Each structure stands twice: as C-alpha cells, then as structure tokens.
Structure 1
Amino acid sequence: MTASERSRIGGDPNNDLDARRGGHQVIFRMLGSFEVIRGEEVITPSAPKLRQVLALLAIQANRVVPTRQLIDELWEEQPPPSSATTLQTYIYQLRKVLNVGDARPGIRPGPISLQTRLGGYLLGVPEESIDIRTFELLAAAGRRQLEEGQVERAAGSLRQALGLWRGSALADVSVGPVLQADLVRLNESRYSIHELRIDADLALNRHHELISELTGYTAQHPTHEGLHARLMLALYRAGRRSEALRLFQRIRSVLADELGLEPGPELQHLQRQILSAEPGPQLGPEPTETIRVSARPDPPMQLPVNVSLVGRDNQLERLVAVLRERSANEPAVVAVSGPPGVGVSAFCARAAHQVRAEFPDGQFYGSLRGRSRAAELLANFLAAVGIPTSRIPDELETRSQMFRNWTIDRKVLVLLDDVSDADIGGLLLPGGRHSAAIIGAHRRLFGRQIQATVDLRQLTVDQSIELLIDAAGRHRLQRDAGVARALGRVSKSAVGG
C-alpha cells in the first residue's frame, strides 16, 4: 500500500490514536479485494467464514449488526443448531486477528474495537479507516460542489472517489444475502458517481479525453442510453459529427433488436441537435418535454384503514421512534417481518397512521409483488403527485429516480406491503432525509437502506384473548371464560384484526 493511498484512507499510521493503542492504525479496504492492514502488515483472515463475518461487520462499521443477521449471512435458510456458538467462536478469533478485546462497562474502547452488544456485535472503527466511508464522503462533496457550480473541484472530488475502487467490491469474499444487498447498493453508487464525473468533464470541455473511455464503456453496455448520449456529445464536440450520428443508429438498432424499444427522449433530442448542427447541444429532453406537476389541493393520502393492535406496544414504540429520528442524510427505513397471519400489514398500517401528521407532503401505499408490480406502483405514485401519464417514463429505474427527485426536499411517508425483495422494494423508497418508509414482509429483509428491523411473532394466549375481547366485546366472552381461552389458543396467531 502506497503512502498516498494511506493518506487518503486512514491518515498517518503514527497518529495520536495509534500511539494510544501502542501500534499502527488498522485500515479496512473493501472497494476491491478485501484487505485489512495494520501498518505495512496485511492481517486479513484467510478462513472464508471469518472473512465473511469481518466483511459484514466492517461494511456496517460503528453500527450493531444483529446476531440473527450474521447467522443469516453465513448459513442463510439452514443454520446449524450450533450456529450461535460457532459465531461466538468466529468473534473470538477475529478479536485475536485485530488484537482487540471486548469493551467492558466503564472502559472506553480504543479506536478499533469489536464489542458485544445486546443482540449483536459492533465493530468500532474510525470513519477515515474505511475506504467505503471515504468514497461516500468524496462522492457527497462532489455532488455538493456540482450543485454549487464548482465544476472543476467537483470533477476532482468525484475522480478521487472513483480512484479508491480497485475492482468489484469484496471481490474475493464469499457473500450471502446480507452482504449481497450492500454490494448492490455500492455498485449502484459507483455507477452514479461515474456518470456524474463524466458530466463534470463534459462541462469542462474535456471531450477529447473522454472519447476513448466512453467508447469502452458503451461496448461493455450496448443498451445503456446515458453512456451513448455522452459519447455522442463528446464526438460531436470533437468535430466527429458523422460518427456521433452513426452511434445513434447503432444503439437504435440494438434497442430495437434486443428490447423492442426506440431510443428515449434524451437520445432523440440530442440526435436532432446534431443533425441541425446546433453550436451547443446539451444532454436532456427538449424544453417542451419538461415535466410539469399540476397543482393539487391536497397531498396524496393513500394509507390503508387504521386498526387497533394488541400486544405490540413495545415494538410499535420502537418503530415510531426510528421514523421520528430521521437524523441521517437518507430516509428512515424500517422493515417489519413475520409469518403469514401474525398481522404484519395491520402493524405497519397502525405505525403509519401514528406518524402520518409528520409527513404533510404525502403518504404513499402499495402492495408489492414482483418487479412488474413495482413499475405499476411507481406510475401510481407519480400520477398521484400530478405528473401527467404521458410524461411518466417506461423504465422502472427511471420512474424510481423521478420519484426520488420529487421527494428529495419533501416530507413523505411510503408504506410498502408484501415485499419479498429488498432491492425491488428499494426502488420505491423516497429520497432525502426528511422522509421515511415502512416495509412489510413475511421474511426478514436486508439492505443498507434498512435502518431498523421489527420481527413479529405469534401472540400469547392471554394476548389472543385480549384480541378477541377487542373484537367481540368483553361482556360476550365473560359468559364462558373456558370457551374464550380455547378460542385464544386457536387464534393466537392472529393480530390486529
């Protein structure tokens, strides 16, 4: 590892923190092969399961990773009976690798710590010691600089962020469902920052330098319209107008042959600008295609009917607290799971109604069953805020981005039910830190965007009787307490009506 790389991730290995530890700072590199480095020594575990556990703890550093989540990552649907004990052994071995102990009450942990917490484990690491955090900080700085018109600085920040990548994230780690969700998010972020950096370079008239790079990317992604549009623009600005027009014809043929589609408005508008030899063609649809949101007297209010609950007070209080915090730079997202019949839908609806007043710009609801359903729900969301049907794009991802853009500075709540795939559900989440989402599912969902989880279990017999009383009336059940208790045992899997 070079000195310059060390300065970007982790700073000086002989800083004050290291002095207090009596050794070198530990650096975690995950944007490529997984590397854990202390000074000049690579201490990455060689055992596959240890690497997997440490990678998950590191990618969610400074947050408690639930024990159940770690077990699901390692063994998915079929954990062995000894899984909890085996996981404890892995944690013990990782403490030896990192040369740290468990933090004891009253003792302040060092800069690197692997702490046992209630229900899970927390890897404490300085933010600057993790390449993912450095990437996210540089990417955020680049976005902000672009918004402020500091294009030169933005291009530098974005290029520096992308320079941290050494290949696919965690390329040499065997990943399970939890890490896979994080990797999907990371890759999406990388592609997004890459496009922003190209846009910044185009704004700085670096089209000659971009042509070779974009030619390679379009060959790798023959149906990616955004990359082709950028290459067309670079070619035209470099005086290669005929090549730009031939590129349009090529992607038009590929889209028609492989997907049965015509190029989108951005590509078509750019082609028309190049055909007419306009002096300053720009990316984006024609001005007449600008989306106009019609004025609405009231915000969308789509929540299902509110219901009463029995035996869920503590869980409801916890969920509502997470929704009200919204202290991060992203929406507060809570996933609620439980087997069919325990009342996931009713619980989510109750929580949504309890906080709805805090989201005055709209409350959106949808029952999600698959990718095609996601596209339909997004179309409904966009129509509900006044976007004309003719302006709603066909592509799922484009609809998702349009919805996120609309919500970015608004306070909205999204309630999704019957979610089976966290990645698909993530496409319907709002953007910005002022919003929140509740996701209901019959199995636990994983993903970096999920900030908290609530697992619902069957009610006790006494709670089931309270549910019956709530539904039928106390006077009716008091006449035969024995029958009521029998009914409670039969119906203890029901909640919330």
Structure 2
Amino acid sequence: MSDSGEGIRFRVLGPISMTPHTPTAAKVRVLLATLLVRANEAVSTASLIDELWDINPPRTAATTLQVYVSQLRRALGEIPSEPTTSDRRLHTVPPGYRLTVSPTDLDLARFETLRRTGKEAYDQGDFTTAAADLRESLALWSGVALSGVPHGPVLATTCVRLEELRTVTLEQRIAADLRLGRHHELTGELMELVNQHPYRETLHAHLMVALYRSDRQSDALQAFSRARKALVDELGVEPGAGLKRLHDRILRSDPLLAWQDPSPARPAPGAPALWLPPATADFTGREAALATAAKLVPGAAEGEAPRGRQVLVVGGRAGVGKTTFAVEFARRNAAGFPDGQVLIELRGSQDTALDASQTIIALLRRIVPAGAEPPAGTDLPELADLLHRAVEGRRLLLVLDDASSEDQLRPVLAAMPEVFTVITSRRPLTGLDGARHLVLDVLRSSEAHRLLVSIVGPRLADDPAAGREIARLCGYLPLAVRVAGSGLAARPHWSGADWADRLADESAGLTPFVAGDLDVRASLLVGYREIGPAERRAFRLLALAPVPDFPLWAAAALLDLPPAETEQLVERLVESQLLSVRRTAPGRPCRYSYHRLLRKLALEQLDADPPGAVESATDRLGAAFLRYARYAAALLTPGATEVPDGDGTDFPPAKVVGDTPARWFQDEAAGLVGSVRQAHAAGLWCLTWELTEALAGYFEAGSVWDEWAATHQLALEAAQRAEQPTARSAVLRSLGDLAWQQRRNPQAAEYYETARAIHHGLADRLGEAHCLIGLADVALTDAEPGPAAKLYAQAAELLGDGADGRRGRTDVLRGIALTHLLSGRPEDALVGFGEFVDAAQRLGDRRWVQFGSRSIDRIQEHVIDRTPADRLEAVEVRPGVWLVGDPHLRE
C-alpha cells in the first residue's frame, strides 16, 4: 500500500473535502461523508446503499457500491487489490465498511473535543477557558455542515444534528463571554444572530442581557417585544417562562442582573447558591415519583425528616431521564432549601468518573467565595473538613449527577450530614447506608405520546396512530422520545408515518436517534464502556437471543459458559441497567430482556467479536433450543419419538421443560421461531428443519397456524437446498396437516401425495403410513367415509406390529371409529373409540385419552340416547378439530 494516505485531513463542517485531493464523483463523496460521520464505526452495506440511492436502489447496487469503495480507496492512497494492512484506513468489516480516522485528522472530532472541554470549563466556572475553547471549536466551521453532496437519511439526520449543535455551542460561547463582561462587544453580533435565528429564545435572552448591561435598558425591552412578536406572529406561541422572567427582571432593574466579576460572583456562605440547569419546559409525567420524593424533604410531613432520609438515589437506565427528574424535583422543592440548590456532574472529560476529592473540589467552587478554594494537593480528609465547614448550618439541596460507585460518594456524604442530597446513577448503589432508592422506568405510552406532541406540535396531534408508533419504536425511553420528536420537528415535510418507517428500519440501527447534542447512542455507550470486557462480550452476544426475552440456559448457550458464570455475568448486566429481569410466576425461572434501543446498540457492537463468533453463538443457541424442544415434543406427543436422554447437560431437559411441555412451548415459542429464522439466515440447513420438526407437534396441538406456515416454508427450502429428501417429505407432510386443519383439503391432499411418493421411494413404510392417514382424514372431512376407511386400512398394513408404529396404529383406530360414526353405525363407533382410548392410555397421551372419552360421551348422549329433538351437530375428528354439518350427522 502507498503511504500517501499520511497527512490526509477530512472536513465535514462545511463542504465535504479531503486533502490533498477531494474525490470529484458525487457518489464517492456521499460515501466518504457517510463514513466520516460514522468514523471508526462499522457502517452496514444496507445503510450505505440507502444513503446513496434512497428508496430506489438499482439492481446492481451492491456491486456498484464496491466500485465506489475502490475509487475511495484510491483517493485515500490505498491500492484496492492489496491485502488489508495495519495502516489502511478503509476496512471491510461485517456488516459493511469502517473508515479509521485519527481525531486530529477530522474537523468534526476536533470540534467535539473542544466543545466538550469548553462546556466542562463553563460548568466549573472557568469562563475564560470556556470562551476560548468554544470559540476555537466554532472556527472549524466553513459553511453548512455536509454541504456539496446529496443527503440520504444518515446525512440528512446528521446535518440537522450538527447545525443544532453548532448553534447550541454558539449560545454557550456567548454565555461565557457575557460572564466575562464582554457585553459591549456582543451586542452587534447578537443582533445579527437573532435575525438569522428568530425563534431561538436563548439568543434573544443573551441580546437582552447584553443590552441591559450596556446601559440600554429600553433597547433590551424592545428586543423582548421583537422576540415576542416573531414567536406569536409566526408560531402562535408566547415566549417561554425564562424569557418572560428575564423581561420582568429588566423592567424592575434587578441589581443581580448587572455584570460582576465572575470570581467573586460565587455566593458567600449564607447566600443562595443556584447552580442548576434550566428547567425542562415540556417535562412530562413522573408525578407519582415526584410526590414520593417530596415526602423525604424535611418539613414535608409532620415533624422533620430524620437524617437517614436525606439521601435519595434516583436510578434507572441511560436515557430514562434521571437528571431531568432530579432538576425538576430540586426546582419544585426550592422553597425548602433557601440557601440554594447545586448540581455537580460526576463525570469529567472523556466520560471519566470524578473521584471523591475532585467532587469535593467542584462543590467547593460552587459554594465558597473566590480565593477560599483549597490549594492544589490538599488531601481528602482536609477537603472533607473544608466542605463540612462550608455547608454547616446551611439548608442546601445537592444533586450529584451520574455517580458510578459508593466509594466515589461516601466521603462527600459524610462531610455533609445535614445536606439533602439527590444522587443519580445507573447502578443501584445499595451500599449507601440510610439512602432511599427510587428507580425510574420508561414513560407510560400515553406520557410518551404526550411528550412527542409537545415537541412536534399539531402535525403529530392530528395523527395519533403515528405518534403512538413512534413512541413504541423509542421504547418509551424519554431521551429517545425527545430525539425522535426533535428529528420530526426539524422535517416539516415528513409525516409522522414517514418518520415511524425511518425509525423502524433495522438496518439504520441507532443512527436516526440523534438530534442536536441529544444522541441516544452516545448516552447508551457510556454504560457499555464502563463495564468489564467479559460483560461487554456478554452484552453483545446475548442480543442474538430472539426477542422478547430469554432464560438463563439460552444465555449460557450463547456465551458458551457454565450456569454459575453465566448467571453472574447477566446479573452484573442487570445491575448496570443494560439488561432487565423478570420472573413470570413464583417458582419459575427468571427471564432476561433488552430495552429495544439497548438491543440495537448491542447488535451494532457485534463487529468487536472475532470472526465466526456470531455464527458459533447462533449455532449453540439453536442446538440448545433443539435439545429442549425435542424433549418437550416427546412429552407432548407420546410415541411419536423417543424421549431424548439429556440429563448430563448443565441444564437437564427434565428440569428446563418440567412436566408441562405445552406451557414450555408457549413460553419459548417466540424464541423457537426466531431461532428457526436465525438458523435459516445463517445457512444452517439441518438445524433449520430439525427445529421445525420439533415444533410441529406444538403447532398442531395449539393450532398455531401463522408460525406453523412460516417456519415450515423455511424448513422446506432448507431441505431442498441441502438435498435431503427425508427431511423434505417430513416437512411436506406437516404442511399437509396444516392445510387440512385450515380446511384447504385439495392442497392438503397434494402435500400428502407428494410426501407419500418420497417416502415410498425411500422405502420408508412408517412415513408413507402417516401420509395415508392424512389422506384418509381429508376423505373423512370430504364426507367420504368409505374411501377413508380403505386408506386407514392401508396405513395399518404399512405400520405393522413394531414398536415404532404404536402411535400410528392408535391414530388409525381413531380414524376407523370416525368412519363408523359417519357411516351411520354409532354402536361400532363406540367400540372403536373404546379401543382408541385403551391404546392412547398405553401410549401415555393424555390429550388423546381426553379426546376419545369426549367422543364416547357425545355419541352416547346425542346419537345412542338421543330424543327426537336431539342430534349430533358436529364431530371432533382430532383434538380441537371439528367437522360440522356432515349429512350423516342428521340421520
């Protein structure tokens, strides 16, 4: 490979470009842009095709994409025909391609880094650094993001996100400049900005503050009037609460609004400390949880709350709205904490957790006067003592956001025995003595829909079905709902149904769930990256389990680990809020599941596993399903097959299935059907038809028609591709049973005849006999008891006297009894059903015994002992399958 790729720089914050030479072909630039906005991630071939050709790709799309990839490799200085080398940038990785880019070589990566460090500096009160970093990040922009190329779904979504992020960064840079007293220099810039962004209330607020601090109070009030007119005339809405409060403060010349040096601006002891993020204007739901938390506030109930109740841990998975809840709670209960409310983020740059010392230092910077901060190198005990003295006697509410461990918190809490503390964390933090715990779940469906409507507006309110579907596709996760709502709001030309279709596209993964600086993937990745390697592997591979949930034995099969180690891993994932767990009934095993968006994340990360790992895991899971399905099928239909011996496994079938095979099949039906589909997709032909064969008895007993048809069509294709006539004939015979149950007699007869011919050619007397029984049942339900009797007799001859023919011979007794009944010989039918019941009892098939007994009772009551007004209106020809209206029934 050529080394000319070194020194290449990429730009997406403006026209797409690459130095030293940008590809001239438009499609190649689209490919480059798509890979750059997902730099260092695997982008699926399906996503790239969708991006290049939208909804109408050519038939040769996959081949043409490979051509574009080759052209891009040449532009990168790589020789497409050379084997992959360590310094190659563009890699072929399942399920598509990955472009490896150093953060220093991509303007977007540098922008993200500077934006993050600027925000952190702002939050720490270092406004000089914040303004410098944010200004430098904005200088990287040279125009509209991703311009110069057509936009498909990925680039369109990303463009909206980046432009929103650019504006948010600009707003924060201006806020930092205002903190530094640069209001005179800002007024001109802000006047231009509010003309460009007339609906950005934050920019209007900044302009009003800058004018007021420049001794232009009347101009500041006029700025509010212009903002209100734009919002009312164009959108039909009044300014938000924050802008209105600022207007009131300007009217009354609030002295706290005047600029002061940021260093002494921190409140002295005894003065209110207000360091909370803004309230969320469209906060939705959580009323019960807020009421529960409010009971812990001192003075909320009769008497003061004890100290042990002054720590509240708010838990829940990423994106569930823990921080938003904590801020809303703090603001609603501000009156109980007159000395202020303070929020401290417990993560620094690169998502690293602050230790106890760093947390105390950050808190002291909020609540002590300038110059009173501890000097560098102060040890933890002295820091704790300083904090204790700073908060003593003060009624404060502290929010510690995104805690990672008890060790991070204990020294901080010990130093503040009288401070009401709200802690948010994805971990349970059960080791904190005296803490109360409140776990937030996703929103109720009605709440999620209401939140969507508040974001999108009347367009979605008029289409409630689309709104409910979008909420469902978000898994009712508040962050995802906000992102989806913002994405739709930014696309006024899209309908709610169009947006729902985009979110439902599995090939897009989490890509649509990004809007501005709200990024569902980034939020979920925090929890994934902080767990250990073994847990990350488990998180990825367990996503291969068919939805909706899976038992521990399925997890053990996927991970190829013993039960105890598997259980430890999945429980650690539950503690980290990456898996959910439920118990279906007392005494029943636990079942595990993903939130739908966490499962998408796990599937996106599967390329981190070695080649072949996914295929091996799929094969192991299918083999485990097969082992237990065969055991359950043998119990459900005694005599059809022998009960397999599997008690030597880590999860013995007798323990997994128990003595209720029908219930086991019902519990695992979705997983079994999903495993059939996975096996077929992986080209595991033998496993496909074996799983299907094991399911046939359950499908027949429960009349599970849709899954019966879907799995057997896959199994039929698998048998044909593997050139296995025995498997093909068995599948055809089962499809005949399905067609017969659905009253499609001609099609059923065709299936049976085709399968019979295959069995005959293989000299398989048992299989041929079962096909004859099926043909006899068709004749029976066609009101032809005579031909049916002959077919049953032929089947009995083929079955012989061997043990492997016991179930077939019992089935023949059923058919002969029915021919007697439908031929007008009820006494012979009673005798025949008596023989059938005896044979079914010897077989151990309780379902057939009950069916035969019901038949005897009905014949006796409605035929033998009937009154002139009584008659047999219908006959049960198999358990749960009825023949209605045959003329012989009325004789």
Measured against the shorter chain, the TM-score band is: 0.5 to 0.7
Conservation of the 8 A alpha-carbon contact between 1:374 and 1:424: no
Identify if the C-alpha distance between structure 1 residues 54 and 232 changes in structure 2 by more than 3 Å, giving closer, same or farther. same
> Which residue in the other structure is 1:389 paired with?
none
Q: Which residue among 584, 594, 604 is the counterpart of 1:452?
A: 604
Is 1:91 aligned to residue 69 of structure 2?
A: yes
Return 5+ residue gaps in structure 1 as ranges: 1-19, 303-326, 331-356, 379-395, 402-417
- The within-5 A match list for 1:242-261 is 242-261=218-237
- Larger relative contact order (Cα-Cα within 8 Å, sequence gap ≥ 6): 1
> Which residue in the other structure is 1:151 paired with?
127
Q: Which residue among 10, 30, 35 is the counterpart of 1:52?
A: 30
Conservation of the 8 A alpha-carbon contact between 1:158 and 1:197: yes
Q: Which residue among 365, 370, 392 is the counterpart of 2:442?
A: 365
Identify if the C-alpha distance between structure 1 residues 453 and 46 changes in structure 2 by more than 3 Å, giving closer, same or farther. same
Identify if the C-alpha distance between structure 1 residues 376 and 175 changes in structure 2 by more than 3 Å, giving closer, same or farther. closer
Higher mean C-alpha displacement, 291-300 vs 26-35 = 291-300
Quote the offset at 1:22 in angstroms. Answer: 5.8
Q: Which residue among 163, 180, 189 is the counterpart of 1:204?
A: 180
Conservation of the 8 A alpha-carbon contact between 2:154 and 2:512: no
> Which residue in the other structure is 1:406 paired with?
none
Q: Could you state the TM-score of these two structures normalised by the residue count of structure 2? A: 0.37
Conservation of the 8 A alpha-carbon contact between 2:90 and 2:97: yes
> Which residue in the other structure is 1:31 paired with?
13
Higher mean C-alpha displacement, 257-266 vs 426-435 = 426-435
Measure the CA separation in 2 of the matches of 1:451 and 1:184. Answer: 25
Measure the CA separation in 2 of the matches of 1:178 and 1:160. Answer: 27
Q: Could you state the TM-score of these two structures normalised by the residue count of structure 1? A: 0.62
Quote the offset at 1:187 in angstroms. Answer: 1.7
Measure the CA separation in 1 of the matches of 2:186 and 2:35. Answer: 38
Is 1:489 aligned to residue 708 of structure 2?
A: yes
Conservation of the 8 A alpha-carbon contact between 1:134 and 1:161: yes
Measure the CA separation in 2 of the matches of 1:425 and 1:172. Answer: 22
Conservation of the 8 A alpha-carbon contact between 1:369 and 1:419: no
Secondary structure (helix, strand or coil) at the match of 1:189 reads helix
Q: Which deviations, in whole Å up to 9, do the C-alpha atoms of 1:194-237 show, x marking residues without a partner?
A: 11100011011111111111111111222221111110111111
Measure the CA separation in 1 of the matches of 2:68 and 2:446. Answer: 37
Q: Which deviations, in whole Å up to 9, do the C-alpha atoms of 1:253-293 show, x marking residues without a partner?
A: 3333333433222112211221112233179xx97x98797
**What is the letter of the counterpart of residue 108 of structure 1?**
S
Measure the CA separation in 2 of the matches of 1:420 and 1:223. Answer: 27
Quote the offset at 1:178 in angstroms. Answer: 1.5
What's the Cα RMSD here?
4.7
Higher helix share goes to which structure? 2
**What is the letter of the counterpart of residue 147 of structure 1?**
D
Identify if the C-alpha distance between structure 1 residues 251 and 478 changes in structure 2 by more than 3 Å, giving closer, same or farther. farther
> Which residue in the other structure is 1:226 paired with?
202
- Determine which structure has more spread, i.e. the larger CA radius of gyration: 2
**What is the letter of the counterpart of residue 364 of structure 1?**
D
Is 1:281 aligned to residue 257 of structure 2?
A: yes
Q: Which residue among 50, 54, 57 is the counterpart of 1:76?
A: 54
**What is the letter of the counterpart of residue 120 of structure 1?**
G
Conservation of the 8 A alpha-carbon contact between 2:13 and 2:146: yes
Identify if the C-alpha distance between structure 1 residues 178 and 223 changes in structure 2 by more than 3 Å, giving closer, same or farther. closer
Q: Which residue among 635, 645, 649 is the counterpart of 1:475?
A: 635
Q: Which residue among 102, 112, 127 is the counterpart of 1:126?
A: 102
Measure the CA separation in 2 of the matches of 1:172 and 1:477. Answer: 66
Higher mean C-alpha displacement, 57-66 vs 126-135 = 57-66
Measure the CA separation in 2 of the matches of 1:224 and 1:23. Answer: 42
Secondary structure (helix, strand or coil) at the match of 2:256 reads coil
Conservation of the 8 A alpha-carbon contact between 2:27 and 2:52: yes
Measure the CA separation in 2 of the matches of 1:213 and 1:253. Answer: 21
Quote the offset at 1:99 in angstroms. Answer: 1.4
Higher mean C-alpha displacement, 143-152 vs 47-56 = 143-152
Measure the CA separation in 2 of the matches of 1:424 and 1:107. Answer: 34
Measure the CA separation in 2 of the matches of 1:491 and 1:282. Answer: 71
Quote the offset at 1:33 in angstroms. Answer: 0.8
**What is the letter of the counterpart of residue 490 of structure 1?**
A
Conservation of the 8 A alpha-carbon contact between 2:636 and 2:697: no
Identify if the C-alpha distance between structure 1 residues 25 and 467 changes in structure 2 by more than 3 Å, giving closer, same or farther. same
Identify if the C-alpha distance between structure 1 residues 86 and 224 changes in structure 2 by more than 3 Å, giving closer, same or farther. same
Q: Which deviations, in whole Å up to 9, do the C-alpha atoms of 1:55-83 show, x marking residues without a partner?
A: 11122222222222211211233322221
Quote the offset at 1:238 in angstroms. Answer: 0.7
Conservation of the 8 A alpha-carbon contact between 2:4 and 2:77: no
Return 5+ residue gaps in structure 2 as ranges: 260-272, 280-289, 297-311, 318-348, 353-424, 429-437, 456-477, 484-499, 504-510, 529-576, 579-593, 607-617, 641-692, 713-891
Measure the CA separation in 1 of the matches of 2:596 and 2:258. Answer: 42
> Which residue in the other structure is 2:653 paired with?
none
Measure the CA separation in 1 of the matches of 2:6 and 2:82. Answer: 22
Secondary structure (helix, strand or coil) at the match of 2:253 reads coil
Conservation of the 8 A alpha-carbon contact between 1:366 and 1:377: no
**What is the letter of the counterpart of residue 10 of structure 2?**
F
Q: Give the share of equivalent positions with the same residue, in percent.
A: 33
Conservation of the 8 A alpha-carbon contact between 1:235 and 1:241: yes
